[in-house]
Structure 1
């Protein structure tokens, strides 16, 4: 971890333990190649890109003596995870496997060498042969530990892919769902943030898809009056709002406990046949993801030596919301 931040988010570069973890799906043709499947079998793979493979970064401004990722110049020379997709055609779109990674979002106002820097949670696409990539945009994770990597992989497996709220991949009857109610973070939606998390943004916060409408016997979504009543997403939102009625200023710990309970009770992907072991792990993963994000957007704390730093995990969990 470099400890160098832009807009409250750690900057990505060759010296930083940053990566795009399990961007999915990266579909590549995979052997066998035979008359039944001439180009091979199309298999969706998770794709990984490491900031340590940065090329074409900054030339005058460095972090820990190494180049930094910036808009319109930087790329990551290779990705991994798709090596088995090695039939002649390889990638279904780009005809590549292990192709380059390019960034698609960045800071609006912090620039190195005259170009905006890439930060924690900025998006990237993978397995390029040319400007078009082969994966959906997926966030850059800085200072990621193995627990975070394992979490993203598990949530992808359960089809609970993380995304920015403003770039939701959710399809009807699902909607993009903030694990913590937005009113816990902002005085009004898209308005002023509460003081503890000044970098929070409703459209950039991590979300997962959750079913918002009840289903007919044939599996199609209901419509009209009452079609959302008692559906998973509204029930999870109700649990958060009930908590705020009982405790208007809960700690992050209290809010996360309520959220995890509501997800466990109501999220379709966490019901059988998902095992209890995977369900428990997924709920812990949601906590890891949210706390990691909140650390990145939290108000820096003042240290005894006069320096500032981002709060620890425990600091975040103990923070009182809506203050």
Structure 2
């Protein structure tokens, strides 16, 4: 049972179908351990956390008769997906392979038992032995769904992992890419925000890894003039910037449609997908951005419809 909301987002608890799905990467040492690799082989795993494993939640206010996740008290008793990383060292950071899950964000103004509640898309880190996790922060998804499936699963199925820009783990030939370009919200990269975009931050905005270097017969370019020309990232960026040259201050909704088209046309992970897989993944990227922007907005928080109707790059 769920269906109880705070700030328009479903509250997470033991009775709610809330999950941290595929927080990635959770690098654990994996057998064989010897003789050549005494600590084991470091392998990245997806890490999963379930709201049903909630412990130390609310004592008086409950959902479905069960405890609710709150700030500074709740955690998930265990995580999964890393069981194979069972060499002596286990997690690279925490030395655990099915450690606890902790929450890193919460409601600003809705409280149960005097503490802010955890909601859908609030950030969580998995596989803890202590408050430092073995995974980067990942949206705690409970109710963002497209076509009846949660967005973390939809994106994972096509090989796209959303991350905060500052937590990028993208490897060559990919780079961390703001699908919805930073210039839509800030006057200059890392500078002042345009009017109406609250606490938007280039470092915490949602990003994906995208192929950014030109592919040649012998491999991918690494540097130098023209090394990125013609890459999926380059083609996507050009399409979006050509649109923004023609329309100085479109609504966010119109800009998102253009970005979705550009990402769908050029992101390397989407080229072999079915139309439905691609459409669902692009819709999920849109919903992740909307949720992030609502979280960044100052009170009173806008609705998704209000966010989509706002003009971007408005001085």
TM value normalised by structure 2: 0.72
2:236 is aligned with 1:219: no
C-alpha spacing 1:245/1:27, structure 2 compared with 1 (3 Å): closer
Give yes or no for contact 1:2–1:16 (8 Å, CA) kept in 2: no
Taking the aligned partners of 2:296 and 2:182, their CA distance within structure 1 comes to 21
C-alpha spacing 1:145/1:98, structure 2 compared with 1 (3 Å): farther
Gaps of 5+ in 2: 32-38
Give yes or no for contact 1:107–1:117 (8 Å, CA) kept in 2: yes
What residue in structure 2 maps to residue 258 of structure 1? 258
Taking the aligned partners of 1:25 and 1:296, their CA distance within structure 2 comes to 21
What residue in structure 1 maps to residue 193 of structure 2? 192
What residue in structure 2 maps to residue 282 of structure 1? 278
Q: Deviation at 1:198?
A: 3.2
What residue in structure 2 maps to residue 106 of structure 1? 105
Farther-moved stretch of structure 1 (220-229 vs 129-138): 129-138
Q: Deviation at 1:159?
A: 3.3
Give yes or no for contact 1:26–1:91 (8 Å, CA) kept in 2: no
Q: How does 1:64-79 map to 2 (within 5 A)?
A: 66-71=67-72, 73-79=73-79
Q: Deviation at 1:21?
A: 1.4
Gaps of 5+ in 1: 32-38, 302-307
What residue in structure 1 maps to residue 36 of structure 2? none
Taking the aligned partners of 2:19 and 2:291, their CA distance within structure 1 comes to 17
What residue in structure 2 maps to residue 267 of structure 1? 267
1:117-136 per-position Cα deviation (integer Å, ceiling 9, x unaligned): 65554432323455664444
C-alpha spacing 1:221/1:63, structure 2 compared with 1 (3 Å): farther
Give yes or no for contact 1:291–1:316 (8 Å, CA) kept in 2: no
Aligned residue pairs, count: 302
Give yes or no for contact 1:22–1:46 (8 Å, CA) kept in 2: yes
Give yes or no for contact 1:249–1:320 (8 Å, CA) kept in 2: no
What residue in structure 2 maps to residue 3 of structure 1? 5
What is the RMSD of the two structures over their aligned residues, measured on CA atoms? 4.3
SS of 1:172's partner is coil
C-alpha spacing 1:309/1:157, structure 2 compared with 1 (3 Å): same
Taking the aligned partners of 1:214 and 1:202, their CA distance within structure 2 comes to 25
Q: How does 1:172-321 map to 2 (within 5 A)?
A: 172-189=172-189, 190-195=191-196, 197-198=197-198, 200-271=200-271, 275-277=272-274, 280-295=276-291, 297-298=293-294, 311-312=303-304, 315=305, 318-321=308-311
Q: Deviation at 1:232?
A: 2.1
1:109-156 per-position Cα deviation (integer Å, ceiling 9, x unaligned): 769688776555443232345566444432222433365854323433
C-alpha spacing 1:115/1:53, structure 2 compared with 1 (3 Å): same
Farther-moved stretch of structure 1 (45-54 vs 143-152): 143-152
